[in-house]
Amino acid sequence: MPPRRRAPEKQSVPKLAPSPLPVGGLLNWGSSAHWDSRARPCRYCGRPTHLRDSKGAPADKVCAEDALADIGDIVRTYSSQGRL
């Protein structure tokens, strides 16, 4: 009788933390309201941008969404500690 083969060990796949942002980002940047013909310094990084946030302030897409993600992290942290 041939020897039995061991079943291959199942390797545990590390679980990834949920992404703080959806794949398309948090904001809808397709609206013409987010565009201005005049470049002004981004309120977060200072580089010139034609993009505007929802309040009309100059903001790069990446900078604005990073700021929103940071705010979400802060809210989750304080909520988990019972401070909110």
Tell me the per-residue pLDDT of 45-64, one tens digit each, with 9 for 90 and over: 999 999 998 889 999 988 98
Residue 50, H or E segment: strand 48-51
| 56 domain-assigned | yes
| 38 domain-assigned | yes
| 42 domain-assigned | yes
| 9 domain-assigned | no
| 10 domain-assigned | no
Whole-model pTM: value is 0.56
| 7 domain-assigned | no
Q: Are 49 and 56 in contact (CB under 8 A)?
A: no
Closest among 23, 32, 26 to 51, alpha carbons compared = 32
Domain that holds residue 57: 32-80
Give the confidence band of 37 by pLDDT, cuts at 50, 70, 90: very high
| 21 domain-assigned | no
CA distance 84 to 76: 9
Count of domains for the chain: 1
Show the tokens assigned to 37. 């013909």
